[in-house]
Structure formats: C-alpha cells, structure tokens
C-alpha cells in the first residue's frame, strides 16, 4: 500500500513539503519558512512597540509643558483679563484639560503597552493581532493630535465670564441620504426572527445594535449590527401579564448604569425592567407609552389617558412621582396635552412631548407650569409650519428638534423659535417610502433610524454631511 501524500506547497518556496498553517494569514509554510515568517511578525511587533515609545515620549513632553497646549493658552488669556477673581477657576480648567486631553490618552497607551508586552512575552501572535495593535495605535494617536472635539464654553456674567471644558461635542447633522437601508425586519408582517410586526419604540446603542419594541409580537428584539435576523431579549412568550410576558410594548430604553432594559409594557399598564432575564415591575397601574432617562437618573413616563408626564428617581418608585408636563386634562391649552406620543429629556431636564392630537411638539422647562410650542401647532396639515399626528421626538446638542411627522410619512427638523420646519426625510422613493413611521433614533455618527410601522421594518438613513 502506498504511503499517503500529506505534503502541500509552501507559500514561500512553492515546493511540496510538510507545511504548517499560520492562523493569522491562513497561508501554509514549510518549517524553515515558517520560522522566517514568525521572525517577520516578531520584527513587525517590535516596530509597533517602537512607535508606541515615540508617542509615549510625546505625551510626556506635553505633560511636562502643558502651557504649550492651545486650550491652556486660551485659559491663560482669560485668567489675565479676569485677574484674581478667576485664578481658582483657571486652575481647575487647566487640570481638566490635562486630564481629558493627555492623561486619558496616556491611560489608553498604558493599556496598549500591556497588550504589546504580553504578546512579546508569550510570543503568541499573528497578523490579526498586529493589525489590531496598529489600528489601536493609530486611533489613539489621532485622539492625541486632534483637539477639534474639545472646546471652551464661555458665558457672559457680571464682571467676569465663567468657562468650562467641553468634550466630544456631537457632530452638526445636516443632510441624510434619501434612499434608506433596511436594517431590521422588512420581510413582511410576522413573528419569525427576521420579521417584525408593527415596530414602535427603537433604541440604538453605542455598537449600533438596535433594540426594538415589537408591538404585535409582544417582545423586545435586538438586531446586532449588520445582522440578518434579531434575537428576543424580553417577552416573546406570547401575549400575557406574567413576569416573563409582555403585551403590546411601545418603548424600550437602556439603563446604562446596570445595562438593564426598561420597557413600557403598554397593554399591561406597567413599566418593567429586565436584567439578565430577571424581571422587576418598576411602576404598576399606569397607562404608559413613552420613556426617557436623564443624566441625573430620573425616569420619565407619560400616561396617555391622563395626558401627563411624571418622573421618578431611579429606584424610588413607591410614590406617584413628580408631574413635569400636562396633567390638566385633555386639551390644547399650553398647560395641557392630548394623547401624547413620545418624549425626550435634554441636559437641562426640559421635557419635549409630541402632542399627537394637537399636532404639535411641546417643550416644558424644568418646574414650569405650562409648555411652549416648539414645532407645529398650526392645526393638522402638511405645510412646513404644520404637523400631522407627530410621534417620535429627539433634540440634538444645538437644540434642534427632530420629529416623526407620522401622518405625513416624513421626518422633520425644527429650530426653536422658527415659524416652520424643514423636511429631512420624506420617504417618497418607491422602495423607501415610509408608511406611518413611528419612532426615530440617531447613532453616535449621526445616522438616522426610523421605525416604519406599516412596513414592519427599521430604516436607516445614512448621514452625508
């Protein structure tokens, strides 16, 4: 019997030999050339480590001479103008600049250095590891050299002006591609994992994973980035009011502190929290439809029957909450709402409510007794100064209001104080036509996601400016 030939061609010498596969590049090498290949990888690792040391020296130089930083120079000029009254504030701001612009990056370099040292010590690495290290080094280097995401905020006050350090300001979003990409659902009405049934609330996390309140399927599904189907992460056990069931959920948000999800369990008249498949009813006996959490960890819930928005301190639900909007019966006065749709809370704890049957968006400042109209309010219609049954609402860092104009099948942007808005997504393309859109959300790059209710899908409109 002939001996089995287990030889293959070596990638380097192209001769038939016993070869070994490199997991990083998936190429086959004979023993001699495998050793050479490993030495080449080792040299590349040393080169990356050398680049790291060069940038570490740059960091040390900036730490030793922080006065050379452009933001520090601005702070020093401000300090001279304001003399003794602002010296303490100037020192605080200097420390914040050093901490945010240098120390934080240094910590990332230290973490990267540990990974490099570990690879050098274990001598277990391949092209994939090296590509990861190089990408991380490039990313951190860009952070060090680019201070455009950091600025000084100055506000006028008597005698002196106060300043603070503003970090990572979000981009100014202007235009989006009108041809949408379906990123969830879009396979007809149904309960399969690649289908949605009347999606309502949506939430996009920092990894561009999409959480969806799948209304008619009585579940919350998560679609991973670029996934072909979702996975059920809450509910999905049929319609019901048991702890592991949902009935017609309308909204879902994430509590970033413990990474739990909080759900407006609409037909069960409760707000329920899911954490690692364990459930807890936070607020019971409430006609909830929309949810929000602010930076001070207050949970906002509106009851559509009472036409009111109330808030609770997270973890303190043994009371009726604090009224923050509406609560004066159904109507169209400035202290009233009429079947609100969704809500948003900004950094100043102002509450924005899409006042659906009044065809307007209302803004209620903290502790105010009535709201102001910031979008629509000119009866139902499709002119630029009108809305028709508005639903999802979001406000960006510049105070611009984005609202789903559901009855007109479009998304609009309004600037507070302006008499009319502008259409940013009209959904009028043949394949991309929106049909009764409900919710909207942005990812951290400014891409727009819209819950397309009647088409049972989530549409993504990519930002172009």
User: Could you count the other beta carbons within 10 Å of the beta carbon of residue 263?
Assistant: 29
SS3 41: helix
Tell me the longest C-alpha to C-alpha distance in the chain. Answer: 100
DSSP 254: E
Residue 199: closest CA among 426, 6, 361, 404: 404
Q: Which two tokens stand for residue 252?
A: 């879902």
The dihedral built from the CA positions of residue 225, 229, 235 and 239, taken in this order, carries a sign that is positive
β-strands 360-364, 351-355 pairing = antiparallel
Per-residue pLDDT of the chain (465 residues; tens, 9 = 90+): 455 567 889 888 999 889 888 888 888 989 999 899 999 889 889 888 888 888 888 777 777 776 666 677 777 776 777 766 666 776 777 777 766 666 667 777 777 788 888 878 878 778 887 887 788 888 777 777 765 556 676 654 555 666 676 665 555 667 898 889 999 999 999 999 999 999 999 999 989 999 999 999 999 999 999 999 999 999 999 999 999 999 999 999 999 888 899 999 999 999 999 998 899 999 999 989 999 999 999 999 988 788 999 999 988 988 889 999 999 999 999 999 999 989 999 999 999 999 999 999 999 999 999 999 999 999 999 999 999 999 999 999 889 999 999 999 999 999 988 999 999 998 554 456 899 999 999 998 899 999 999 999 999 999 986
Q: Burial level of 110, CB count in 10 A (0-12/13-18/19+)?
A: exposed
Domain spans of the chain, in order of start:
7-61, 175-464
Residue 293: closest CA among 402, 203, 213: 203
Residue 220: closest CA among 245, 187, 183, 190: 245
Fold of 175-464: Neuraminidase (2.120.10)
pTM: 0.65
Q: Which two tokens stand for residue 270?
A: 């409760």
């Amino acid at each position: 019997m002939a001996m089995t030939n287990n030889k293959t061609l070596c990638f380097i010498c192209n001769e038939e030999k016993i070869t070994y596969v490199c997991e990083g590049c998936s190429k086959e090498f004979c023993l001699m050339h495998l050793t050479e290949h490993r030495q080449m990888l080792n040299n590349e690792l040393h080169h990356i480590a050398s680049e790291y040391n060069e940038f570490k020296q740059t960091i040390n130089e900036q730490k030793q001479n922080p006065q050379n930083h452009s933001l520090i120079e601005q702070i020093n000029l401000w300090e001279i103008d304001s003399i003794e009254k602002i010296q303490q504030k100037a020192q605080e701001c200097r420390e914040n600049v050093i901490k945010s612009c240098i120390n934080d990056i240094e910590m990332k370099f230290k973490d990267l250095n540990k990974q490099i040292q570990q690879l050098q010590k274990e001598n277990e690495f391949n092209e994939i590891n090296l590509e990861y290290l190089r990408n991380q080094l490039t990313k951190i280097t860009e952070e060090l050299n680019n201070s455009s995401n950091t600025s000084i905020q100055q506000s006028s006050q008597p005698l002196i002006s106060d300043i603070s350090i503003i970090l990572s300001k979000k981009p100014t979003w202007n235009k989006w591609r009108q041809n949408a990409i379906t990123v969830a659902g879009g396979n007809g009405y149904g309960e399969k994992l690649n289908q949605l049934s009347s999606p309502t609330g949506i939430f996009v996390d920092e990894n561009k994973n999409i959480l969806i309140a799948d209304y008619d399927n009585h579940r919350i599904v998560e679609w991973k980035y670029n996934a072909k189907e979702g996975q059920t992460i809450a509910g999905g056990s049929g319609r019901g009011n048991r702890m592991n069931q949902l009935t017609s959920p309308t909204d879902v948000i994430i509590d970033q502190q413990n990474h739990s999800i909080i759900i407006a369990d609409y037909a069960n008249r409760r707000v329920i929290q899911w954490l690692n498949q364990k459930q807890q009813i936070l607020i019971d006996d409430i006609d909830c439809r929309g949810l929000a959490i602010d930076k001070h960890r207050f949970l906002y819930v509106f009851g559509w029957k009472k036409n009111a928005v109330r808030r609770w301190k997270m973890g303190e639900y043994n009371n009726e909450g604090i009224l923050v909007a509406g609560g004066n019966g159904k109507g169209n006065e400035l202290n009233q709402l009429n079947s609100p749709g969704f809500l948003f809370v900004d950094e100043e704890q102002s509450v924005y409510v899409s006042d659906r049957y009044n065809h307007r968006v209302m803004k209620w400042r903290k502790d105010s007794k009535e709201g102001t109209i910031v979008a629509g309010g000119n009866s139902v219609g499709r002119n630029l100064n009108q809305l028709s049954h508005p639903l999802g609402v979001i406000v960006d860092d510049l105070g611009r209001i984005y609202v789903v104009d559901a009855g007109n099948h479009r998304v609009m942007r309004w600037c507070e104080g302006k008499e009319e808005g502008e259409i940013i997504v009209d959904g009028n393309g043949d394949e991309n036509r929106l049909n009764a859109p409900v919710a909207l959300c942005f990812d951290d790059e400014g891409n727009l996601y819209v819950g397309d209710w009647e088409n049972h899908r989530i549409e993504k409109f990519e930002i172009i400016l």
